[in-house]
């Protein structure tokens, strides 16, 4: 799905007026997501071979790209969050609570990568919220919804992997993942066409 979304986004945003830095970061993020998807499929097939960590690395880079795209669209300013600094606390609490739940089940040696990944998905979601007052409302809502769904998808992966497998995990993860990616890319595209 991600290669198709990357092609669609590249085609829809091929305009000289489109924010080129944001466009590049989103496309690179979608390509990295494709690698992440492949690596996590390999992990399901060949567990214990390090594929999960490579997949985690690919998605970490995806979140870095998305955060960079969203911050660049706000002119690298955090004015909205500076005025509404209290909005950061729910994200910090969610991250702390989530890591607390995952911690006992995380294998030795990957605690630091998981913490760093959690921080980065939090930064990506915060970057989406920070777009408020910088972009049109409809596109903003789509980006924020997409970012939150992407965080939810990653959270479900963490629960299924490190806490307990649960019925319907694969479907829930994929639905929230695809909807999240679509929300972010469609929202960014809408922002520059509103």
Q: 53 falls in which pLDDT band (50, 70, 90)?
A: confident
DSSP string covering 120-142: HHHHHHHHHHHTTTTS-HHHHHH
Q: Using an 8 Å Cβ cutoff, are 135 and 191 in contact?
A: yes
State the average pLDDT for the chain.
Answer: 89
Q: Using an 8 Å Cβ cutoff, are 114 and 102 in contact?
A: yes
Of 147, 157, 141, 153, nearest in space to 194 by CA? 141
- Domain-wise residue ranges, the chain: 2-191
pLDDT, tens digit (0-9, with 9 covering 90-100), for 148-162:
999 999 999 999 999
Query: What are the tokens at 36?
Result: 């992440």
Q: In the prediction, which pLDDT does 76 show?
A: 57
Q: Is residue 40's pLDDT more than 80?
A: yes
Q: Is residue 178's pLDDT more than 60?
A: yes
Q: In the prediction, which pLDDT does 193 show?
A: 63
Higher-pLDDT residue of 130 and 82 is 130
Mean pLDDT value across residues 6-13: 88
């Amino acid at each position: 799905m991600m290669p198709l979304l990357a092609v669609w986004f590249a085609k829809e945003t091929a305009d000289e007026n489109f924010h080129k830095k944001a466009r590049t970061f989103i496309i690179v993020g979608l390509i990295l997501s494709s690698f992440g998807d492949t690596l996590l499929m390999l992990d399901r097939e060949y567990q214990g071979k390090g594929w999960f960590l490579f997949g985690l690395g690919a998605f970490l880079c995806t979140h870095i790209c998305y955060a960079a795209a969203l911050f660049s669209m706000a002119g690298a300013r955090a004015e909205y969050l500076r005025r509404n600094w209290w909005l950061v606390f729910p994200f910090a609490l969610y991250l702390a609570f989530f890591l607390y739940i995952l911690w006992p089940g995380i294998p030795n040696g990957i605690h630091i990568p998981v913490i760093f990944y959690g921080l980065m998905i939090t930064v990506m979601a915060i970057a989406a919220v920070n777009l408020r007052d910088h972009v049109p409302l409809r596109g903003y809502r789509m980006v924020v919804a997409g970012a939150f769904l992407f965080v939810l998808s990653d959270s479900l992966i963490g629960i299924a992997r490190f806490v307990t497998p649960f019925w319907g995990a694969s479907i829930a993860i994929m639905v929230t993942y695809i909807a999240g990616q679509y929300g972010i890319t469609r929202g960014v595209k809408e922002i520059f066409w509103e």
